[in-house]
Structure 1
Amino acid sequence: MRIGFIGAGRMGRPMVARLVGAGHDVDVLSRTADKRAAITELGGRSVAEIAEVCAAAEVAVVCVFTDEQVREVCLAGGVVAAMPAGSALVLHTTGSPRTVESIAERATPRGIEVVDAPVSGGPHNAAAGTLTLFVGGADHTLTRVRPVLSCYGDPVLHVGPLGAGQKVKLVNNALFAAHIGLLAEAVRLGAQLGVTESALLSALPHGSASSRVLDIVAAGGSIASFIKTAGEFVGKDLAVVRGIAAELGSDLGVLDDAIDAGATAK
């Protein structure tokens, strides 16, 4: 399959490697010498302009960092305008469901199908083909793009119509951040009882309090070190979900309390 890929950075680069390894022809947006060399080494084709990345793509994949970048690349930057009728657009960046809907409003009349497929996991998961993908979109569109997504995603979870992938991922990240906050409070309680953070993080994964968050934090050695590494990524998504909740006249309830507890662990 001919694939156009935009956003071959920390997360996107191992995705490109998996796509190339599966036999797909991958055109990758890369505008600097270092990035061009990296893409060539992976076996992809380095392309300098968005129009060239998307013009012949059966599937275009966008994996940039922020919601604002998605709008810039897809709307102002010309991804949708450059894609041919009959192609499909996959949006991996976590952001607002309204961004996905606004892109689809522009893409659908041009004969371009859209799915939102935010990812859960890190670069090591992408490299191993074990990212979790929360996919929103039509059944037939997911069937069409599944051979692409399955190169780096397992499981690929269809969670509802267009925009549902973003909604599930935002809830996921709010709960993830709350787990971090609860763990920070547990570490404080341990300190009050005279138990060190390192002792707790070594022992708790073996008890009934074990969780994926606890395992990840324990592997990093401390709450503070984990937040230093992942705080920017989680924080941008929390800003989005809090904004959506505020628009609905609500908030994150007890999740907010737990999230705030984690914020003080920086």
Structure 2
Amino acid sequence: MTEVACVGVGRMGLPIADRLVRAGHTVTAFGRTAETRERLHTKGVRAHSDIADVATPSTDIVLVTVLTDEQVREVCLSGPLGSRLSPGSTIVIHTTGSPTTTEEIAEVMARRDIRVIDAAVSGGPHDIAAGGLTLFVGGDSDTVDHLRPVLGAYADPILHVGALGNGQRVKLVNNALFAAQIGLVRAGVGLGARLGIDESTLLTALPHGSADSRALAGIARRGSVDSFADAVGEFVGKDLEIVRSVAAELGGDLGPIEALLTETARSI
């Protein structure tokens, strides 16, 4: 089976590693703490305390699921990762960040015949556990097709969205719309209050109508916009920062979405 190295085994990376082991792949991972390494060992993952030991010449695929764009750069460009991999191996970047970062890493790795794709994710640990994480994948189509059997251990659908960097671009639009929808639901709750309809009544009724969305459904399950914002605030807040910074970097104008993002930002 395939030998996979995982860098970043937190909220998303750990269940991904678990699914890969269950699918029969050989999985190694970097664990900063003894507790993390023990948790990895119990799932059948070969855990290492030194990131230099995670990838070896026999590694086929490296999955990068660290938290920030800066950490992606550190792992792929400043660390020992690239020098340990053999030609023909592939780096898969799951972390949401700048398309420019992916392109720069790919340019460096191409000199050693190491392939890079960006496979931005939509979903959470529960989706990974069910094998239903959504991937927006940018890169060479042959490389993407070659990776499908491995990525399919935890992801479905695997959507090839074009050239390298497009996975990140699609994810940024996705995140912008999701965050904007939270702001839109808050505005709708405000309108309902002015019309004499309480939030609980609205959130019970609206998911059955044409106004439904994934954001509205999540808010309805939590019972209020505030409760949902508390639950997802850390991740949505990070997404908002990335959306704005990358849009500015690429010269994009968020247009009317910006006002809704501002409304969402007040919620979290």
When normalised by structure 1's length, the TM-score is 0.96
**1:58 corresponds to:** 60
**Structure 1 residues 207 and 243: alpha-carbon distance in aligned structure 2, compared to 1, 3 A threshold:** same
1:42 is aligned to: 43
- Cα distance between partner residues in 1 of 2:102 and 2:252: 22
Cα deviation for residue 252 of structure 1 reads 0.6
Partner of 1:94: 96
| Aligned with 2:194 (options 192, 195, 205) | 192
In the TM superposition, structure 1's runs of 4+ consecutive aligned residues that sit over 4 Å from their partners are: none
The 1:253/1:202 distance shift into structure 2, 3 A limit, reads same
Partner of 1:81: 83
CA deviation after TM superposition for structure 1 residue 250, in Å = 4.4
Residue 248 to residue 108, structure 1, CA distance change in 2 (3 Å): closer
Contact 2:117 2:164 in 1 (8 A): yes
In the alignment, which residue of structure 2 is the partner of 1:265?
Answer: 267
Cα deviation for residue 241 of structure 1 reads 2.5
1:78: Cα distance to partner? 2.3
Aligned to 1:238: 240
For residue 149 of structure 1, the aligned residue among 148, 151, 165 is 151
Shift of 1:248: 4.6
Superposed, 1:69-218 pairs within 5 Å as 69-218=71-220
Instruction: Specify the SS of the correspondent of 2:261.
Output: helix
The alignment partner of 2:149 has SS state of: helix
Identity of aligned residues (%): 54
- Give deviations 1:166-202, integer Å, cap 9, x for gaps: 0000010001111111001001111122222122111
Give ranges in structure 1 of 5+ residues lacking alignment. none
CA positional deviation for 1:221:
1.9
Residues 1:178 and 1:144: Cα distance change in structure 2 (over 3 Å):
same
Q: What is the distance in 2 between the residues matched to 1:249 and 1:6?
A: 31
- Looking at structure 1, the residues matched to 242 and 9 of structure 2 have their Cα atoms a distance apart, in angstroms, of 23
- Deviation readout 1:232-258 (Å, 9 max, x if unpaired): 222223222222332454431100111
Residue-by-residue CA offset, 1:133-174 (whole Å, 9 max, x unaligned) = 000000111122111211111000000011000000001000
Distance change in 2, residues 1:249/1:32 (3 Å): closer
2-structure distance, mates of 1:44, 1:187: 46
**Match of residue 28 from structure 2:** 27
- Contact kept, 8 Å, 1:20 with 1:43, in 2: the verdict is yes
Tell whether 2:223 aligns with 1:221: yes
Q: Distance in 2 between matches of 1:158 and 1:83?
A: 25
Larger mean CA deviation between 69-78 and 131-140 belongs to 69-78
Aligned length: 266
- Judge conservation of contact 1:170–1:238 (CA < 8 Å) in 2: no
Q: Residue 51 of structure 1: CA displacement?
A: 2.1
Deviations 1:202-234 (A, max 9, x none): 111111111111111111222112222222222
Separation of aligned partners in 2, 1:105 and 1:265: 40
Paired residue for 2:15?
14
1:70 to partner: Cα distance: 0.7
Task: Give the 3-state SS of the residue equivalent to 2:117 in structure 1.
Answer: strand
**Alignment-mate amino acid for residue 159 of structure 1:** V
The change in CA–CA distance for 1:164 and 1:249 in structure 2 (over 3 A counts) is closer
Counterpart AA for 1:182: L
Contact 1:50 1:82 in 2 (8 A): no
CA contact (8 A) 1:66 1:236 kept: no
1:70-94 CA-partner distances (Å, limit 9, x unpaired): 1111111222222221111100000
CA distance in 1, matches of 2:249, 2:52: 35
What is the CA distance between 1:65 and its match in structure 2? 0.9
Which one is further off, 51-60 or 238-247? 238-247
